[in-house]
Amino acid sequence: MPKKTQGNTQEMRFKPRQIIGGLRRIKMVVEYDGAAFHGWQIQTDPPVPTIEAAILEAFEQITATKPEDLVAAGRTDRGVHATHMTCHLDTFAPIALNKIQTGLNRFLPDTIAVREVEEVDQNFHARYSCVGRKYTYKILNRRNRSPLYHARAEHVPHQLDLAEMQRAAKVLEGEHDFSSFRSAECQGKGPVTTLKSIQLEKTDDDIINIHLEGVTFLHNMVRIITGTLIEVGSGKRTAEDIQALLDARDRTKAGKTANPNGLYFTEALY
């Protein structure tokens, strides 16, 4: 059996370990409601429902074979959603491209769908070829809860100061040490990363969208930023406090980690 291509390092991002004859690399864009799943990555101890496991099982249903590899641009946590998660799947199966998409969508649960499929060169890597990622966090900002946004947005019943939140958000743009905005369990190589942009908008249905674009995101970074911005919007902090939080490099100084149900992975950039 040829060696799997999984395990490429960041430095080898445009060169797979070896080109494997007959291996097909299928690039897919997947949409999912993560409320019922324990994140993207497969977990076996104990076995729990994950997005990766569901895709692997569906692929085996249509080809009677397991894929050689399945890699996503990002690994969303339990309860987190995606509108456009890019991944690649490696297989030797000769199944037609259109039948891969149709077959997967037939066997996947209603909460997961393959939006796009494309056969690509083995030099493409969903994770290491990615040069940027986008997330959106949704806050339902009204007194009453919403059945439609249950498990799909953070509910904040009191009025938030959107202008002050945006002022605070601008301080976070650029390259910083985000130690105050990453979880203690973060396994990233270091706390320094670049947040290219962060924009807030409020829609007519009382949803505040926080749109973030960055090169890489640390574990729980978006949710901790959101929790801190909610405190700013609630009058518990000011925009001027944000620089002090960056300088402190101390997770205990920033706001709480917002719930996962409002977080969406929206795009991988290549």
Residues with catalytic roles? 77
Q: Give, to the nearest 10 degrees, the angle between helix 221-233 and helix 162-172.
A: 140
Kindly state the helix (H) or strand (E) to which residue 154 belongs, with its residue range: strand 154-155
**β-pair type (24-32, 192-202):** unpaired
Ordered alpha helix ranges (H), 117-234: 162-172, 221-233
Kindly give, in sequence order, each residue whose CB lies less than 8 Å from that of residue 186, ignoring residues fewer than 6 positions away.
218, 219, 220
Per-residue tokens: 269: 């950039």
How far CA 261 is from CA of 37, 56, 76, 139, 151, in Å, comes to: 11, 24, 11, 10, 5
Q: Tell which residue, 142, 227, 234, 138, has the closest CA to residue 182.
A: 227
Q: Measured over all CA atoms, what is the biggest interatomic distance in the chain, rounded to whole angstroms? A: 60
Q: What 3-state DSSP class applies to 262?
A: helix
CA-to-CA distance for 39 and 52, rounded, in angstroms?
A: 8
In 3D, which of 137, 132, 110, 131 has the Cα closest to residue 207? Answer: 137
